[in-house]
Structure 1
């Protein structure tokens, strides 16, 4: 009974942590709905026709081996509607392939149009993206620093929509919402869009509207230069340098402004290996920042207890994958324990309460979904299908993401692996032949295939446990896990064929 007791304790703790996270999401939903009811836009207008009122802006474009999207990026940024004498563009090019030459040539053409654009390269790529941003900042002319990754396509009026918010001297960052130019390309892109939309509506608005900490998302945002320097500048000791600097800045009392209504379109990864590398970096970086920021947040005298709680749960976002994975793995032993020990029946009745966590997530994400897609019966039924598909595939990524989280919490260092870009915006475009895709199959894929079989066993177990004709309480959960791990396994195999 000792082993069974250990399993029960670990399972219960993981469920409790998931439930706490669900309650935090519910609070963010309340904040989000409250913010939508009132007009909080007290924006002081900025006269862009008066040169004395227009601040100098530097746009930084950190890039690395971007053959497929480099020309698109440069041409798009060149169209930015902002006084040319107040705009500088830095192409922070850490590339190691032939794109260095082609990028240089394209920049030279743009210079002939009167654009102040520089091609900045480094021999030493230390610090990766953070190092490139820091290097560019040393010579940046701008009072404000806008940052765009290579797959982002800001609209012409982007600066005019964001710069006016800096009339408030306390604002250190203005972050905009990500859009998705290839949202409907595949099931994989739809799932990624679903998850990101939840972050960029429910979470960012929910936190920002109550003054809780939010994060600059690494791109599609603009910093006050003095804020970056005051917060300690860019540091490359975590894989999510954006989250790191965001927390250091807010601990210094800088305010962040999130603009849900300003959309910045971008391209989602269309190949599962690219999505895996992005997920690994984000989730490991989140855990690394929890280690780095935990005591700074707890010991801060500048923030409220509620902001501290939301901040710690924000930093623990990625750790939820580990809790989900633990619950998933232990759910099959728990099925057998439930039907072996009748005296524990009351405990299992109590455990069924945690279905409430799923219901909370379902409600929260519905408000996000209808904000993006609209409401109505047809949309709701479409949402039900998308929600359970999303949950299934997200759980299918739980092994991969849990490994990232564990490495982050243990302090294991790893290289910054950038996400390959594809220049895909329509169903006709293909990712085949992309030279930046990894050719090797991750060893985790084999484990994901075995986990698919493990949860197939869980489905079988529902029919044979106990002496009352089976137990189907966990059958839907195991079905979602079987589908999720099966999708990730077969999709990973197919992408290498």
Structure 2
């Protein structure tokens, strides 16, 4: 019977989410067992400090590039052992702003590197800069970062151990209280940088360089095959290649590298598309090798969960769409109520995922009452918006798995920290409205109609789920139509 086809799709997708939640629960367990990866902080008068090259990949970043250069020039490290490369692929006034900033720091060894042919996007820039880098260690910061002035003194000592190939810091957030969307992004990223990175590192599983806010051993990059541009997440790709070569990575959650969060939906979507598609591309490229490699079973399981986590968006989309005929089947008596009672098992997955976000966010808030109250409203809103992104991100995952290539689309930077500031006039703001936005709007209306019908027919079993889907798809769709002339006022929230 056709209704059981949709019930099977619903069950399979929910099973995938449940299995993923078990992997997350294991990371949460090891989060509590994480031993701080600390070394005595280096001193400026240490004669054995290695030379460090800091790479700053930049492409049309006129709003933030001078702030970045100023912060990097203020890093505490012997000037004779520090080299800064501004890898500038810009085609606008960013070029002149970089030159202006360099003139203010004549005492610092800063090189303004401009490629004649901009191939390979960020990976290509990093690779070309690496060929000229004189440092034994390579630190990387994206344009929207403001690194801790003691970043190098805190991370460099780890490289006394020869097998250490990379040290990653935790991202902080310069503008997490700017709007609802920046709060939700911080909510998600904190779970990754607390529970996931710490949980994996505690059990020596694969972790990833997050593209910025980390420092590499140059020989590790070269031994792993250097930067490659065949995926949209060159950082994840190189991380897996290096660790498969035997290099060890360390995570320092106590070293914070603050950065800007995208304040508008179009920028969030461009970033999400690149991350999810790139993750799927890396799964195709590396998962088979890792599973066949000489790694412990637990490491393979977490690598699979890590590389396949973008599939959650396809699973969520399948669950969402198949829930409509399943709901109708229950209402018409085509499906036994026993199936619905059995489906309660899947609630375990959501409880486990909620626990991960609970610990990650409240641990940073010191398990305070204020942090708890904020968590109680953030979790359902975050889950709703994440489900609302399933169409957009599902397309990205599908393209990544099937080998469809697309260009590297940068995430616009806005340099917005004050709630009273808007993004009116930002020349990098993405103005196009893709077709998926209309699909999201249509799904919001469909699920809203189902919620109304559920009330009318007194079939309340799935009403909360459908209400969250209506809110999520509606929020994502409406926010995607917001133009560059809008301010943040209507999206800000008091936290």
Shift of 1:357: 1.2
Asked if 1:188 corresponds to 2:181, the answer is yes
Moved more, 372-381 or 311-320: 372-381
In the other structure, the counterpart of 1:98 is 93
Secondary structure of 2:409's aligned partner: coil
**Deviation string for 1:124-143 (max 9, x for gaps)?**
11110000000000010000
**Deviation string for 1:299-358 (max 9, x for gaps)?**
112x11110110011001111111011101111111011233456322221112111111
| Aligned length in residues | 485
In the other structure, the counterpart of 1:177 is 170
- C-alpha change, 1:343 and 1:264, in structure 2 (3 Å) is closer
Shift of 1:445: 1.0
Distance in 1, Cα, partners of 2:4 & 2:287: 31
Match of 2:214 among 209, 221, 245: 221
- C-alpha change, 1:42 and 1:417, in structure 2 (3 Å) is closer
Distance in 2, Cα, partners of 1:75 & 1:48: 20
- Structure 2 runs not aligned, ≥5 long: 486-495
Match of 1:307 among 291, 299, 307: 299
1:229-240 alignment, distance < 5 Å? 229-240=222-233
In the other structure, the counterpart of 1:399 is 391
Asked if 1:493 corresponds to 2:488, the answer is no
Distance in 2, Cα, partners of 1:395 & 1:447: 13
Asked if 1:66 corresponds to 2:58, the answer is no
Contact 1:60 1:90 in 2 (8 A): yes
In the other structure, the counterpart of 1:471 is 459
1:429-448 alignment, distance < 5 Å? 429-448=421-440
Shift of 1:20: 0.4
Asked if 1:460 corresponds to 2:455, the answer is no
Distance in 2, Cα, partners of 1:342 & 1:134: 60
1:344-363 alignment, distance < 5 Å? 344-363=336-355
Secondary structure of 1:248's aligned partner: helix
Asked if 1:482 corresponds to 2:478, the answer is no
Shift of 1:63: 0.4
Contact 1:44 1:165 in 2 (8 A): no
Shift of 1:104: 2.2
Contact 2:277 2:396 in 1 (8 A): yes
What TM-score do you get using the length of structure 1 for normalisation?
0.95
In the other structure, the counterpart of 2:155 is 162
Contact 2:39 2:154 in 1 (8 A): no
What TM-score do you get using the length of structure 2 for normalisation?
0.95
- C-alpha change, 1:343 and 1:245, in structure 2 (3 Å) is closer
Distance in 2, Cα, partners of 1:70 & 1:474: 48
- C-alpha change, 1:325 and 1:243, in structure 2 (3 Å) is same
**Deviation string for 1:200-228 (max 9, x for gaps)?**
00000000010000000000000000000
Shift of 1:11: 1.2
Match of 1:266 among 234, 247, 259: 259
Distance in 2, Cα, partners of 1:226 & 1:417: 29
- C-alpha change, 1:47 and 1:188, in structure 2 (3 Å) is closer
Contact 1:441 1:496 in 2 (8 A): no
Distance in 1, Cα, partners of 2:38 & 2:270: 40
Contact 2:172 2:256 in 1 (8 A): yes
In the other structure, the counterpart of 2:122 is 129
Secondary structure of 1:169's aligned partner: coil
Contact 1:271 1:495 in 2 (8 A): no
Asked if 1:339 corresponds to 2:346, the answer is no
In the other structure, the counterpart of 1:11 is 10
Shift of 1:426: 1.6
Shift of 1:284: 0.4
Q: CA RMSD in A?
A: 1.4
Asked if 1:50 corresponds to 2:46, the answer is yes
In the other structure, the counterpart of 2:490 is none
Contact 1:178 1:264 in 2 (8 A): yes
Distance in 2, Cα, partners of 1:231 & 1:45: 28
Shift of 1:480: 0.8
Distance in 1, Cα, partners of 2:461 & 2:196: 31
**Deviation string for 1:59-83 (max 9, x for gaps)?**
0000000010111111111111100
Secondary structure of 1:34's aligned partner: coil
**Deviation string for 1:66-107 (max 9, x for gaps)?**
010111111111111100000000000011112223322322
In the other structure, the counterpart of 1:426 is 418
Distance in 2, Cα, partners of 1:297 & 1:289: 11
In the other structure, the counterpart of 2:202 is 209
Distance in 2, Cα, partners of 1:40 & 1:68: 36
- C-alpha change, 1:392 and 1:45, in structure 2 (3 Å) is closer
Shift of 1:157: 0.8
Shift of 1:234: 0.3
Distance in 2, Cα, partners of 1:77 & 1:380: 35
Contact 1:200 1:260 in 2 (8 A): yes
Distance in 2, Cα, partners of 1:19 & 1:166: 39
